[in-house]
Amino acid sequence: MAAPPVQAYKTLVKELQYHNHRYHVLDDPVISDGEYDRKLSLLQSWEHAFPDLIDDDSPTHRVGGRPLSEFSQISHSVPMLSLENAFDSDALMDFDRRIAERTETQENVNYVCEPKLDGVALSLLYRDGVLERAATRGDGMIGEDVTANAKTIRSVPLRLQGDSLPNLIEVRGEVYIPHEGFELLNAEADRLGDKKFVNPRNAAAGSLRQLDSRVTASRPLVMSVYGLGILESTVKPKTHFEMLTYLKQLGFLVNSHTYLAANIFQCESFYEQLAKQRSSLPYDIDGIVIKVNSLEIQQRMGAVLRSPRWAIARKFPAQEEMTRLVAVEYQVGRTGVITPVGRLEPVFVGGVTVRNATLHNQDEIARLDLFTDDTVIVRRAGDVIPKIVRVVKEYRRANASLIEFPQQCPVCGSEIEQVPDEAAVRCTGGMRCPAQVKQSINHFVSRRAINIEGLGDKLVEQLVDRDHVKSFSDLYRLDLVILCSLERMAEKSSKKLLKSIHASRDTSLSKFIYALGIREVGEGCAQILANRFQSLEALIAEPLEKLTEIEGVGPVVARHIVDYFAEPKNMNVIDELLSIGLNCHHKGDKENSSRPLAGQTWVLTGNLDSMSREGAKGILKSLGAKVSSSISAKTTKLLVGSKAGSKLEKAKLLRVPTMQEREFADLLVSHNVYPEHKTEI
Asked if residue 499 has pLDDT above 80, the reply is: yes
Same domain membership, residue 351 and residue 230: no
Same domain membership, residue 220 and residue 299: yes
Same domain membership, residue 547 and residue 457: no
Average pLDDT for 351-356: 86
The alpha carbon of 133 is separated from its chain's Cα centroid by a whole number of angstroms, namely 18
The listed range with the strongest mean pLDDT (23-37, 39-53, 306-320, 359-373) is 359-373
Query: What pTM did the predictor assign?
Result: 0.54
Structural domain containing residue 537: 508-586
Strands 259-261 and 142-144: unpaired
Same domain membership, residue 118 and residue 55: no
- Number of domains, the chain: 6
Which of 569, 565, 504 has its CA nearest to residue 536?
A: 565
Asked if residue 589 has pLDDT above 50, the reply is: no
Q: How far apart are CA 319 and CA 307, in angstroms?
A: 25
Looking at 375, 395, 418, which one is the last position of a domain?
A: 418
Looking at 563, 586, 609, which one is the last position of a domain?
A: 586
Catalytic residue among 116, 151, 387, 637: 116
Tell me if 157 is assigned to some domain. Answer: yes
Contact yes or no for 246/237 (Cβ under 8 A)? yes
Whats the size of the chain, residue-wise? 681
CATH of the domain at 518: 1.10.150.20
- Provide the pLDDT confidence category of residue 563 given band limits of 50, 70 and 90: very high
pLDDT in tens, 250-280: 999 999 999 999 999 999 999 999 988 888 8
**304 vs 31, 75, 84, 308, 550, CA distance in Å?**
49, 19, 10, 6, 15
CATH of the domain at 634: 3.40.50.10190
Same domain membership, residue 498 and residue 456: yes
pLDDT in tens, 137-188: 887 888 899 999 999 999 999 999 988 899 999 999 999 999 999 999 999 9
Same domain membership, residue 387 and residue 245: no
Tell me if 368 is assigned to some domain. Answer: yes
Same domain membership, residue 556 and residue 496: no
Same domain membership, residue 444 and residue 409: no
Same domain membership, residue 558 and residue 614: no
Half-sphere exposure (Cβ direction) of 570: Cα atoms closer than 13 Å: 17
Strands 311-315 and 85-86: parallel
Strands 320-332 and 338-349: antiparallel
Residue 587 annotated in active site: no
Looking at 586, 614, 638, which one is the last position of a domain?
A: 586
pLDDT in tens, 300-335: 888 876 789 999 999 887 677 889 999 999 999 998
What are the DSSP calls for 319-353, one per residue?
PEEEEEEEEEEEEE-TT-BEEEEEEEEEEEETTEE
Residue 294 contacts by C-beta under 8 Å, 6 or more apart in sequence? 109, 110, 238, 239, 240
Which of 109, 81, 112, 82 has its CA nearest to residue 93?
A: 109
Tell me if 604 is assigned to some domain. Answer: yes
CATH of the domain at 51: 1.10.287.610
Which of 358, 276, 262, 373 has its CA nearest to residue 316?
A: 276
Residue 430 Rama label (left phi>0; alpha psi -120 to 50; beta): left
- Percent of the chain's residues with pLDDT above 90: 53
Measured torsion, CA atoms of residues 37, 38, 43, 49, in degrees rounded to the nearest 10: 120
Average pLDDT for 460-470: 95
CATH of the domain at 370: 2.40.50.140
* pLDDT-wise least confident of 51-60, 171-180, 380-389: 380-389
3-state SS string for 548-595: HCCCCCHHHHHHHHHHHHHCHHHHHHHHHHHHCCCEEECCHHHHHCCC
Contact yes or no for 444/574 (Cβ under 8 A)? no
Asked if residue 63 has pLDDT above 60, the reply is: no
Tell me if 80 is assigned to some domain. Answer: no
Number of helices (H) and strands (E), helices first, in the chain?
25, 26
pLDDT at 310: 96
Same domain membership, residue 142 and residue 59: no
DSSP H/E element including 628: strand 626-628
Secondary structure (3-state) at 242: helix
| Residue 27 CB-density burial (10 A; 0-12 exposed, 13-18 middle, 19+ buried) | exposed
